[in-house]
Amino acid sequence: MSQKIRLSWLQLSHEKAKLFAAIAGVMVSVVLMWMQLGLMNALFSSAVMFHDRLSADLVVVHSQYESILRSRSFSARLLYRLRGSEFVEDVVPVYIGTTDWKNPSTGGRKSIQVYGIETQKLTLSALGVNEHRQGLREEDTFLFDRLARPGFGEVPQFIADGQEPEVEINRRRMRAIGVTELGSSFGVDGNVITSEANFLRLFSQRRSGVIDLGLISLSEGAEPAVVRPQLQAALGKEVQVLTREEFRSLEIDYWQKATPIGVIFSAGTVVGFFIGFIVVYQILYTDVTNHLPQFATMKAMGFSGRYLVRVVLGQSFWLAVLGYVPGTIVAGLLYSGLKAATQLPLELSLLRGVALALATLFMCAMSGLLAIRKLSSADPADVF
């Protein structure tokens, strides 16, 4: 009697272990898909934070422009040709460069992105730019990106305490007069905003009038998409005129197609899906095989094949639910930790959550349907 009880207990433990293994497989799959899609979305969102803050209707870039990190310079004289156009209200140059930053606390050095902007006009709609336009006209002043990754020192804290700390940028002493928010990305750890004059002081090898971006503000009533071809014709083939959405899409396309990062995250999402699919399929197939006599008996008793399919699909549904919920909670915790460590815009979005929930249900349903194929073709006479 005790041996039968022991066998029953072992069988029950085995069934529980299979259940937990299936739930864990779905959970791991959900976490992987959340992380891959979240990181890919963070890649694209962080790459265009600067683009989204431009105060312009159209953007002029070099014809061989690839990315904000690989921009090519062109003469501002091309940009100034447009001031005579009836559609153009104003044009503004922007300088972009990457240089060396010395941590004021530790002396460590990091690379930082520097933007030189026109301070007479509102070039960027980022935090602090409009308030400090006058201050940026002073020699050797800048705004520091408070969303930068760790390693640049406690500059935002000094500014919050009412100080204006001096920092060495490209071996030149500069004074931080405020903070802004541009955010780090996969290619940039931190950012600095300064005036055109201060930018040229920092980058002594750069010549005035050789710019990286041109911003065009259109007259009232002018439509960017309609005006763009006319302005492009006026500037020729050396540069290209883009709407803000085109400029944004160009940056995303670069990261998605010209670098392996977008492909890696996409592949990771597919791998996560198939991990869950294989685990659930193997466990459901084993479960159906082990209980084949019971299923065959039910068929002999008159239960239809459709009913048995519903039984297995019901099991698949609960595996999806029991794996998706804790998987999403774990992904949310990982998002919080990574966001604090990297300053990347990682968020659990509702749209992505719904898409992953449907993908998880589909994954488990397909696993169940494949696992039940053997049962649907089985004859009770063959089983017994």
Give every CB contact of residue 23 below 8 A, 6+ residues apart in sequence: 319, 322, 323, 326
Instruction: State how far the Cα of 220 lies from the Cα of 247, in Å rounded to an integer.
Output: 21
Instruction: State how far the Cα of 40 lies from the Cα of 28, in Å rounded to an integer.
Output: 18
Helix, strand, coil % in the chain, rounded to nearest 5: 55, 20, 25
State the DSSP string of 368-379. HHHHTHHHHT--
User: pLDDT-derived band of residue 8, with 50, 70 and 90 as boundaries?
Assistant: very low
- Decide if 251 contacts 49 (C-beta within 8 A): no
Query: What SS3 class is residue 220?
Result: coil
pLDDT (tens digit per residue) in 219-261:
998 999 999 999 999 999 999 999 999 999 999 999 888 888 8
User: pLDDT-derived band of residue 268, with 50, 70 and 90 as boundaries?
Assistant: confident
| 26-46: average pLDDT | 91
pLDDT at 2 over 60: no
User: pLDDT-derived band of residue 176, with 50, 70 and 90 as boundaries?
Assistant: very high
pLDDT at 334 over 90: yes
Reading the block at residue 363, the tokens are 């994954």
| Distances in whole angstroms, Cα of residue 256 to Cα of each of 36, 158, 263 | 14, 38, 7
Reading the block at residue 271, the tokens are 């791998």
Reading the block at residue 243, the tokens are 């709407």
Element (H, E) at 356: helix 350-371
How confident is the model at residue 12, as a pLDDT?
Answer: 41
How far is the first Cα of the chain from the last one, in angstroms, to the nearest whole number? 27
Instruction: State how far the Cα of 356 lies from the Cα of 350, in Å rounded to an integer.
Output: 10
How confident is the model at residue 333, as a pLDDT?
Answer: 95
pLDDT (tens digit per residue) in 79-102:
998 988 899 999 999 999 999 999
pLDDT at 166 over 90: yes
Residue 235: CB atoms within 10 A of its CB come to: 18
Reading the block at residue 107, the tokens are 């002396």
Reading the block at residue 31, the tokens are 């976490």
Query: What SS3 class is residue 151?
Result: coil
pLDDT (tens digit per residue) in 153-162:
999 999 999 9
Note the pTM of the prediction, 2 decimals: 0.82
| Distances in whole angstroms, Cα of residue 219 to Cα of each of 30, 83, 99, 233, 351 | 49, 11, 36, 18, 37
Higher pLDDT, 329 or 313: 329
pLDDT (tens digit per residue) in 137-146:
999 999 999 9
